[in-house]
Structure 1
Amino acid sequence: MLTATAITLAGLGAAAGLASGAYTSRIHKAHPASGQRVDVGGYGVHVLEAGKAGPPVLMIHGASANAREFTWTLAPRLEQEFRVLMADRPGHGHSRRPPGAETLGVQAAQMAGVLDTLAPGERAVVVGHSFGGAVALRLALDRPDLVKGLVLLAPVTHDWGGEGHAWYNRFASSRLIGPAFSQVVPLVGPAQVEAGIGGVFDPSPAPEGYYDKSGIGLLFRPAAFRANARDVRVLDRELGEQSKRYGELSVPITVFSGSKDTVITPAKHTARLKKQTDIDLIILPEEGHMPHHQHGPDVADAIRRLASSPETR
């Protein structure tokens, strides 16, 4: 016989499941899969495009985000000169998630598949923000034939000891309790994150309407939230191994780093990358973790420079 507590928990779980289903349906209507799907190893990668001609530029978003991050920031500055490809990472936005997608190697392979399909025989400038910077670096390591240069925006590049993990990622990434825990996330997550956006941009102001324009609400679908949690939980270990290879990098790299970034510590990432390989490091003295918003023109100019560069370094 079920106890009263078990019945109550079952009822709460069912209610949360219904609420999360309604949330998912609503957020898909607000932010539909409006790009094209590229099949990579049997798993669709959702790609938004801007510009019809010119050299390819591939943009890779960070954690808790999706490809819409770039549709209203960088893409409008480049679409007259380039073919801009903005890809949802595996399990994020509207991309499917293959086995092992928490590893940087699999994430980079999915991005490589986008270039193999949409820009065959060409080399792209690859832009990576935050977590996307780690993926962009892995793409340049594993498939240098696809990459003409890297523009990294507040990138996560090295292992940092794992401190700073949010408690909810531990629960959400658990195979045992993660599925149930993530059903509750749509009920509380959106309001909390929307209220705390300013801290990511600080000391720069957060752009008006950022949450909706970037489709951040897609994060709180249960499957997407779990995918994000698994990515973040293993990133420290993944970067501990990946960073040993940075001496192999053979493409020009420009890095934009906000000196007042409180999401990552630049000294633990970009400063260490500079010691291992030749990079053009642009330090922004009054900037946080989102340099492509306040410094969009400078980032676009860096992309243009790398696109016009005749050779790798």
Structure 2
Amino acid sequence: MTAAYLRTRSPRSLANKARTIAQAHPYVMAAAATAGALAISALVNRRLARNAENDNPPAGQFLEVNGVRLHYVERGSGTPLVLLHGNGSMIQDFETSGLIDLAARNYRVIVFDRPGFGHSDRPRNVVWTPAAQAELINGALHRLGVPHAIVLGHSWGASVAVALALTYPNLVQGLVLASGYYYPTLRPDVVALSAPAVPLVGDILGHTISPIVSRIMWPLLMTKIFGPRSMPKKFEGFPKEMALRPSQIRASAAESALMIPDAFHYRDEYANLKMPLVIVAGDEDRLVDIDTQSARLHSDVPQSRFHRVPGAGHMIHQTATGVVMSAINEVAIARPAPG
């Protein structure tokens, strides 16, 4: 090899060529750098998700319904009580609140990780509306030998509980709806939260940027959902890293996108709920306006009862667990005897 050839392959020569290319094609180089950063963040997020699942193994059992693997926890005996968590959450929300242990003293408590949350699957060939999830939960309860149940739904889980009660009224003998969203309103925040559910673009966001942004925003989210009260110490047991996995972020975004359309779908159906119904909401909920939601639902369902909890926010089951437990007992007393 000649000295001239070696000079063209020296580190300094290669650096000069790279600088020349960067100056001539700045957008190409910027795109390459961005792609590299996104790829690294995707690998990091994948590793964090795997670690979260290893650190938080399934606490319950699994059953398969219509090809969907559902994770559930069952505890206690007596009248079946089904608990359905809100958007972005999982079984540990009810676990850390103490509601499962409290209810298991008198009820057969069954708590599901809804599709895409915790350790449950969320196949992408299904649009997981409240109706689709109600069908899945009904199938799961049939497999578990539950012909009748009291059903509690919190937040987005309240929409699933309503769909379950409207579609399977013989199954649902009583309803407790906590901090739910029932009527369509203008919600710009919902549009922003739905971005990771957009095909292709959402997948890129969900595996790269969204988990990072979610970690940064987590303290603000906790302030909003628990406000005006502080996040209780018991909630520290909630597995935050499980909620920040790309798969769960996408599931949460998809449910945010469905929130307003589903409220449109059900807004004229609530009068068809004939079972005992107790509505519970914090009167300082910063996520949902309870006057246009819970209070209106109470006026549309004649046999319902409505409990406004002073000084409480959206996470009513965490900050006013005893009130929610009393609502369950209230429904249990009012429900008809199983026939």
Normalising by structure 2, report the TM-score. 0.85
* Residue in structure 2 matching 1:113, options 122, 135, 139: 139
* Alignment check: 8 A CA contact 1:31 1:215 kept: yes
2:299 is aligned with 1:269:
no
Cα deviation for residue 310 of structure 1 reads: 4.7
Cα deviation for residue 163 of structure 1 reads: 3.2
Code of the aligned partner of 1:177: V
Quote the Cα distance in structure 1 between the aligned partners of 2:275 and 2:53. 38
Q: Secondary structure at the match of 2:314?
A: coil
Code of the aligned partner of 2:116: G
Q: For residue 54 of structure 2, what is the aligned residue in structure 1?
A: 29
1:195-210 map, 5 Å: 195-210=220-235
CA RMSD of aligned residues (A): 2.0
Structure 2 runs not aligned, ≥5 long:
1-20
Q: For residue 200 of structure 2, what is the aligned residue in structure 1?
A: 176
Structure 1 runs not aligned, ≥5 long:
none
Cα deviation for residue 186 of structure 1 reads: 2.8
Cα deviation for residue 190 of structure 1 reads: 2.4
Q: For residue 92 of structure 1, what is the aligned residue in structure 2?
A: 117
1:263-302 map, 5 Å: 263-278=287-302, 279-302=304-327
* Alignment check: 8 A CA contact 1:65 1:214 kept: no
* Alignment check: 8 A CA contact 2:88 2:251 kept: no
* More displaced 10-residue stretch of structure 1: 250-259 or 25-34: 25-34
* Alignment check: 8 A CA contact 1:66 1:215 kept: no
Quote the Cα distance in structure 2 between the aligned partners of 1:293 and 1:199. 14
Quote the Cα distance in structure 1 between the aligned partners of 2:259 and 2:166. 17
Code of the aligned partner of 1:242: Y
1:272-311 alpha-carbon deviations (Å, 9 max, x no partner): 2122112100011211111112321221122123224351
Say how many residue pairs are matched. 308
Cα deviation for residue 191 of structure 1 reads: 4.1
Normalising by structure 1, report the TM-score. 0.92
Quote the Cα distance in structure 1 between the aligned partners of 2:278 and 2:159. 14
Cα deviation for residue 238 of structure 1 reads: 1.2
2:36 is aligned with 1:11:
yes
Quote the Cα distance in structure 2 between the aligned partners of 1:30 and 1:230. 26
Name the CA shift for 1:48/1:288 in 2 (closer, same or farther; >3 Å): same
1:112-132 alpha-carbon deviations (Å, 9 max, x no partner): 1221122332x1111111111
* Residue in structure 2 matching 1:257, options 281, 284, 288: 281
* Alignment check: 8 A CA contact 2:49 2:241 kept: no
2:245 is aligned with 1:224:
no
Quote the Cα distance in structure 2 between the aligned partners of 1:127 and 1:35. 19
Quote the Cα distance in structure 1 between the aligned partners of 2:127 and 2:55. 26
Cα deviation for residue 67 of structure 1 reads: 1.5
Q: Secondary structure at the match of 1:266?
A: coil
Name the CA shift for 1:195/1:274 in 2 (closer, same or farther; >3 Å): closer
1:106-255 map, 5 Å: 106-121=132-147, 123-165=148-190, 167=192, 169-184=193-208, 185-210=210-235, 212-255=236-279
Code of the aligned partner of 1:113: G
Cα deviation for residue 161 of structure 1 reads: 2.7
Name the CA shift for 1:87/1:136 in 2 (closer, same or farther; >3 Å): same
Quote the Cα distance in structure 2 between the aligned partners of 1:133 and 1:143. 15
Quote the Cα distance in structure 2 between the aligned partners of 1:251 and 1:265. 25
Code of the aligned partner of 1:302: A
Name the CA shift for 1:246/1:49 in 2 (closer, same or farther; >3 Å): same
Quote the Cα distance in structure 2 between the aligned partners of 1:269 and 1:305. 21
1:76-133 alpha-carbon deviations (Å, 9 max, x no partner): 1111211111111111111111433431111111221221122332x11111111111
Cα deviation for residue 264 of structure 1 reads: 0.5
* Alignment check: 8 A CA contact 1:61 1:69 kept: yes
* More displaced 10-residue stretch of structure 1: 129-138 or 30-39: 30-39
Quote the Cα distance in structure 2 between the aligned partners of 1:267 and 1:89. 27
Q: Secondary structure at the match of 1:92?
A: coil
Code of the aligned partner of 1:49: E
Quote the Cα distance in structure 1 between the aligned partners of 2:290 and 2:44. 39
Cα deviation for residue 223 of structure 1 reads: 1.6
Quote the Cα distance in structure 2 between the aligned partners of 1:95 and 1:37. 8
Quote the Cα distance in structure 2 between the aligned partners of 1:17 and 1:290. 31
Quote the Cα distance in structure 1 between the aligned partners of 2:90 and 2:191. 19
Quote the Cα distance in structure 2 between the aligned partners of 1:176 and 1:72. 35
